[in-house]
Amino acid sequence: AQSVTQPDIHITVSEGASLELRCNYSYGATPYLFWYVQSPGQGLQLLLKYFSGDTLVQGIKGFEAEFKRSQSSFNLRKPSVHWSDAAEYFCAVGARGYQKVTFGIGTKLQVIP
Amino acid sequence: DAGVIQSPRHEVTEMGQEVTLRCKPISGHDYLFWYRQTMMRGLELLIYFNNNVPIDDSGMPEDRFSAKMPNASFSTLKIQPSEPRDSAVYFCASSHRGPEAFFGQGTRLTVV
């Protein structure tokens, strides 16, 4: 069974600073990988996904993530954070050929002026 | 499309009462998922349907929980009888042919 670890429960960054949120997964083969964002009181919105091909994927809102097979990681990055990026971010992993996706516990991002 | 629509947005009920949560998936999507989100356990998949047929209900916590999808545009999650530990945010999500899911805004359930 697949699993995903988000080691940082809470991260605080200054507005304009760069951001990297960590995600490590466990799965025997090449997985499907996702990053979702959840604003308070809202549902989850897909930021980006990796299925195959280029290991650097671009998403919405200026986010990108890089799949590193050797490190079993799929870290999310943004070069310059905006106050509106404050939210909770979830990494998720899925097995090819299956619809079930396993979510990480989430990383709550706080942005300070 | 209006996205995945869930109702109600908030539900407060007394222990022992029946609770029904409703979901309208995005038109044309053939997969529907029910998730539960709590502080302690995070986001858990309860059940998912493909073309209105339940495929995997291994995440349903116990027999008090049941889900149906009578047609492609409607699904329900029912808890009977409800208990305080069922308090959580319940999300419905839908997808087309793959695991990339679109989520509704959720129903916050409080059982007192």
List pLDDT tens digits, range A80-98: 999 999 999 999 999 877 7
- Which of B5, B6, B43 would best serve as a mutation to test chain A binding (most A beta carbons within 10 A)? B43
Give chain B positions within 8 Å (CB) of A41. 105
Confidence of residue A100 (pLDDT cuts 50, 70, 90): confident
Give the CA count within 13 Å in the CB-facing half-sphere of B45. 23
Judging by beta carbons within 10 Å of its beta carbon (0-12, 13-18, 19+), is residue A69 exposed, middle or buried? exposed
Q: What number is the average pLDDT over the span A106-111?
A: 97
pLDDT reported for residue B86: 97
Q: A50 and chain B: CB distance < 8 Å anywhere?
A: no
Confidence of residue A41 (pLDDT cuts 50, 70, 90): confident
Q: How does the average pLDDT of chain A come out, rounded? A: 93
- Which of B90, B93, B88 is CA-nearest to residue B107? B90
Q: Is the pLDDT of residue B1 over 70?
A: no
Instruction: Answer for the pair A10, A107: CB distance below 8 angstroms, yes or no.
Output: yes
Instruction: Answer for the pair B107, B21: CB distance below 8 angstroms, yes or no.
Output: yes
Indicate the residue of B43, B100, B106 with minimum beta-carbon distance to A46. B100
Q: What number is the average pLDDT over the span B87-104?
A: 92
Instruction: Answer for the pair B1, B70: CB distance below 8 angstroms, yes or no.
Output: no
Q: What number is the average pLDDT over the span A65-71?
A: 95
pLDDT digits (tens, 9 = 90+) for A69-82: 999 999 999 999 99
CB spacing of A100 vs B102 below 8 angstroms: no
CA-to-CA distance for A109 and A12, rounded, in angstroms?
6
Most confident of A16-30, B13-27, B93-107: B13-27
Instruction: Answer for the pair A49, A32: CB distance below 8 angstroms, yes or no.
Output: yes
- Token pair, residue B39, equals 């502080």
Find the length of chain B.
112
Q: What number is the average pLDDT over the span B37-41?
A: 90
CB spacing of B101 vs A101 below 8 angstroms: yes
Query: Where are any strands of DSSP class E within chain B?
Result: 5-7, 10-13, 19-24, 31-38, 42-50, 53-56, 65-71, 74-79, 88-95, 102-103, 107-111
pLDDT reported for residue B75: 98
Q: How does the average pLDDT of chain B come out, rounded? A: 95
pLDDT reported for residue A30: 80
